[in-house]
Amino acid sequence: MKLPREFYNRPTLDVARDLIGKALVHVTPAGRASGLIVEVEAYIGEADPACHAAPGPTKRNAPLYGPPGIAYVYFNYGMHYLVNAVTEGVGAPAAVLIRALEPVEGMALMRKRRARGTQKRAADFDQNGLCRGPGNLTKALGISLPQNGLDLTGAELFIETSPVARDFPIAWGPRIGISVGTEQAWRCFVPGHPCVSGRAALNALRPPLADVASTR
DNA sequence: CGTTCGATGCACT
DNA sequence: GTGCATCGAACGT
């Protein structure tokens, strides 16, 4: 079941939590590639210094200001594309960054895409690492600028409940790779999952924060 | 184990 | 010109 627009039209932290265990799917002429979401981060509003909306509306962050359920894809560090799901209502700029997936469909295609432009061969990639990290998963799924602004309720790029989904434990911690806004525990992940990015210490199960993500 | 650092290009000031 | 919501190789302990 594809997630409807109302799913995204909610408080961003709720959307972030509920995205764990759902499947991100990209359909292209080369085939279908998908994976279960096991790590996300929330970026919420102009008051969040780490959110791209912090400077106010610009050409780049325009999708954040639009309706929920839209893909916000941007280019970073000169070589990586990062994909977000826009949340909350029009004029409330917020989104959930997808940081890691457990590969489900199209692993051969993912390997091929990951190897593109490198010295490595497709077979060199470990399956658990195919979609570990926000830059890696967009490369594996073939997501880049043409996918920016796509409707996540559409047919090309969407998020759905998966038949392979199961209940995951979840935990919250500080967001990774930012220099401001680190006091917020707005990174949501599956502790101990082999496809989650970041250091082991960051990903340890914190007992008071342990919870279970819903499959629905 | 841990930390540092270079690659690489563009939006924004 | 500056600074990235990164990655992985190279180095130090």
Give the whole-number percent of chain A exceeding pLDDT 90. 91
Whether the CB-CB separation of A58 and A66 falls below 8 Å is answered with no
Q: Which residue is nearest to nucleotide B6 (CA to C1')?
A: A77
The whole-number Å distance from A60's CA to C1's C1' is 19
Helix (H, G, I), strand (E, B) or coil at A79: coil
Question: In DSSP terms, which residues pair with A23 in a beta bridge?
Answer: A36, A160
Give the residue among A50, A140, A141 at the shortest CA–CA distance from A95.
Answer: A50
* Both tokens assigned to A171: 């935990």
Give the whole-number percent of chain A exceeding pLDDT 70. 92
Instruction: Please tell me whether any atom of strand C lies within 7 Å of the Cβ of A119.
Output: no
Instruction: Please tell me whether any atom of strand C lies within 7 Å of the Cβ of A80.
Output: yes
Across chain A, mean pLDDT equals 93
pLDDT at position A49 over 60: yes
What are the backbone dihedrals phi and psi of residue A127, each rounded to the nearest 5 degrees, phi first? -60, -40
Instruction: Please tell me whether any atom of strand C lies within 7 Å of the Cβ of A88.
Output: no
Cβ neighbours, 10 Å, residue A67: 15
Question: What confidence score (pLDDT) does residue A137 get?
Answer: 98
Whether the CB-CB separation of A101 and A114 falls below 8 Å is answered with no
DSSP A4: P
pLDDT at position A145 over 80: yes
Nucleotides of chain C within 7 Å of a protein C-beta?
Answer: 4-8
Find the mean pLDDT for residues A189-194.
Answer: 95
Find the mean pLDDT for residues A32-59.
Answer: 98
Instruction: Please tell me whether any atom of strand B lies within 7 Å of the Cβ of A77.
Output: yes
Q: Which residue is nearest to nucleotide B13 (CA to C1')?
A: A55
The whole-number Å distance from A164's CA to C3's C1' is 41
Question: What confidence score (pLDDT) does residue A202 get?
Answer: 61
What are the backbone dihedrals phi and psi of residue A91, each rounded to the nearest 5 degrees, phi first? 85, -5
Question: What confidence score (pLDDT) does residue A198 get?
Answer: 83
pLDDT tens digits along A173-185: 999 999 999 999 9
**pTM, entire model:** 0.94
Instruction: Please tell me whether any atom of strand C lies within 7 Å of the Cβ of A56.
Output: no
* Alpha-carbon torsion (A31, A194, A209, A179), positive or negative: negative
Nucleotide closest to A52 measured between CA and C1': C5
Q: Which residue is nearest to nucleotide B12 (CA to C1')?
A: A58
DSSP A129: G
pLDDT at position A204 over 70: no
Cβ neighbours of residue A29 closer than 8 Å, sequence gap 6 or more: none
